[in-house]
Amino acid sequence: MKTNDMDFFHQATMRICGSLDIHMVLDRCFDFLKEFIPSDGLTMHIYDAKEACLVNIAMTKASGFKSIESPLPISGRARKFVEEQREKSVHLINHPEEHIVGRYVWEAMGKLPMSSLVLHLIIEDEVLGVVSLFTKGVDRYIQEHARLFGLLHDPFAVALANTLKHQEVLRLQELLADDNQYLNRQLHHLSGDEIVGAKFGLKNVMEMVRQVAPLTSQVLLLGETGVGKEVIANAIHYSSPRAGKPFIKVNCGAIPESLMDSELFGHEKGAFTGALTQKRGRFERADKGTLFLDEIGELPLQAQVRLLRVLQNKEVERVGGTAPIPVNIRIIAATHQNLEQMIDQGKFREDLWFRLNVFPITIPPLRQRRSDIPALVFYFMERKAREMNFREQPVPVPGSLERLQSYDWPGNVRELENMVERTMIQNMTATPGEPLGFEDSYSKFRKTNPPENSCPISRPLLLDEAMKAHIQEVLQMANGKVQGEKGAAALLGINPSTLRHRMKKLGIPYGRKG
């Protein structure tokens, strides 16, 4: 290769392989090539064998020529010509109207007198497509032009291959986004589309949901464990203009404190030992959507400071990063704890509480909406029957629903759901069609009344004392097991990490007996 050829090849390759934007590539390359070869435009095509047509990938702006907007069907003879090309050759076409394939492009561009150089791009014996340089007038190109243009086969072939791969990645990303939205809608339909009690015990709550859902205001959901705060968060998101965008859920009590910043805000590659790649945090993933922060009271003070900055500045900064990343998110926070009391104790920032407490919604416990219990029981029976492949829809024993309504349900809706599931599991070995009595399961949850001759309590129990006694009682039922299907956390309806945290705070030892 001559010295001037080397320089020509180097300069052209820098422009061809300098971007994934193929339109920018052709524009830069065209500006360079026209200094050496007569040029009025540059175009790139691929052959779609399935549709038997030529497809334009990119084209520079060429004055006087029509743009090629749609695929160009070609004849069987032209298809055979294209499919048999296996040489990295340049076709010098000074009369495109006479060429077996060139005439289709010539017609689409307006049938102007023109000359063209067509370079077939081939990698490992696979024909990728062609890149064509063209100019106005006939007989404008000579063999030297063709030789010079042919030097650029490899960089053009790599550029086209990268473009096709990049377009496939973008297509798959769009499919994945559509699939995710569809699955989110299906999961929403299965888990929270219907809110039992919306017209009765939760009527006031749902009215507040309707008021706040169309807005961007932060929402704070308050209520005991198991009342259905996540269901209400679902209702707010899917009733809002952000319904088609991400709905990211974070249990603040389930993330180790050492990983909290990385999980919420992301990290840069090499930010700390083990950070082998860049990672987007939950805030970035929730961009233009909703972030649901459950158990917000468990958020460490350091993470509270960073959350406050996000709410104030509408931007996040990854661990190890220097550039802020703008985010457009709506925060829905939830807790069963008394945040005002935690503020007095120095465990929760007052300024963060003011930011989150824009629109508080208190979800009543199940004992304050006993009229919803029959509807909830039937709802859970129908759903569990579907999950367990029951042949017939079970029905409760007459009078059993009234007994369920007499119980206080300290675990709320989650406790009721567990009780229904337990009863249905026990009923699987019963005679087909036998009604559900709930007696065995109910007795395991129901608190027994103290004997009449027992000593009266000299003073009411403190909240921590009552909680400690209840956790110890449930641990006994679970034989000391905290985690798992029959563990204390599952019976209480809370996250195992949250339970361990409370046990540590209350001085209850960990570990399974025996």
Q: Which one of 245-254, 393-402, 497-506 scores highest in mean pLDDT?
A: 245-254
Which tens digits make up the pLDDT trace of 28-81? 999 999 899 999 999 998 888 877 888 888 888 778 888 887 788 888 888 888
Strand order of the β-sheet with 290-294 is 247-251, 290-294, 330-335, 219-222, 359-362
Q: Is a pLDDT exceeding 60 seen at residue 89?
A: yes
Q: Is a pLDDT exceeding 50 seen at residue 448?
A: no
β-pairing, 247-251 with 290-294?
Answer: parallel
For 108-121, what is the mean pLDDT?
90
Q: What is the pLDDT of residue 396?
A: 85
pLDDT band (50, 70, 90) for residue 185: low
Which tens digits make up the pLDDT trace of 280-292? 888 988 999 999 9
For 481-510, what is the mean pLDDT?
80
Taking CB atoms within 8 Å and a gap of at least 24, the contacts of 275-282 are: 275/319, 275/320, 278/318, 279/318, 281/316, 281/318, 282/248, 282/250
Q: Is a pLDDT exceeding 50 seen at residue 452?
A: no
What is the spatial distance between Cα 291 and Cα 506, in angstroms, rounded to a whole number?
31
**389 contacts 204 by C-beta, under 8 angstroms:** no
Q: What is the pLDDT of residue 184?
A: 57
Q: What is the pLDDT of residue 449?
A: 39
- Identify the helix (H) or strand (E) that includes residue 91: strand 90-93
Higher pLDDT, 487 or 136: 136
Which tens digits make up the pLDDT trace of 456-471? 444 455 666 777 777 8
Q: What is the pLDDT of residue 242?
A: 92
- What letter represents residue 29's amino acid? C
Q: DSSP 3-state assignment of 50?
A: coil
Q: What is the DSSP string of 390-422?
A: -SS---BPTTHHHHHHTS--TTHHHHHHHHHHH
Can you give the pTM of this predicted structure?
Answer: 0.53
- The conformation of residue 66, written as its DSSP 8-state character, comes to P
Q: Is a pLDDT exceeding 50 seen at residue 192?
A: no
pLDDT band (50, 70, 90) for residue 337: very high
**71 contacts 156 by C-beta, under 8 angstroms:** no
Q: What is the pLDDT of residue 514?
A: 36
What is the spatial distance between Cα 209 and Cα 235, in angstroms, rounded to a whole number?
7
Which tens digits make up the pLDDT trace of 27-41? 899 999 989 999 999
Q: Where are the alpha helices (DSSP H) in 59-119?
A: 76-83, 102-108
Q: What is the pLDDT of residue 224?
A: 93
**394 contacts 385 by C-beta, under 8 angstroms:** yes
**359 contacts 219 by C-beta, under 8 angstroms:** yes
Higher pLDDT, 384 or 431: 384
Q: For the chain, what is the mean pLDDT? A: 83
Q: What is the DSSP string of 454-473?
A: SPPPSSPPPHHHHHHHHHHH
What domains, with CATH codes, occur in the chain? 3-166 (3.30.450.40), 192-364 (3.40.50.300), 368-450 (1.10.8.60), 460-514 (1.10.10)
Q: What is the DSSP string of 199-265?
A: TTTTHHHHHHHHHHTTS---EEEE--TTS-HHHHHHHHHHTSTTTTS-EEEEETTTS-GGGHHHHHH
pLDDT band (50, 70, 90) for residue 342: very high
Q: What is the pLDDT of residue 179?
A: 59
| Rg for the chain, CA atoms, rounded | 34
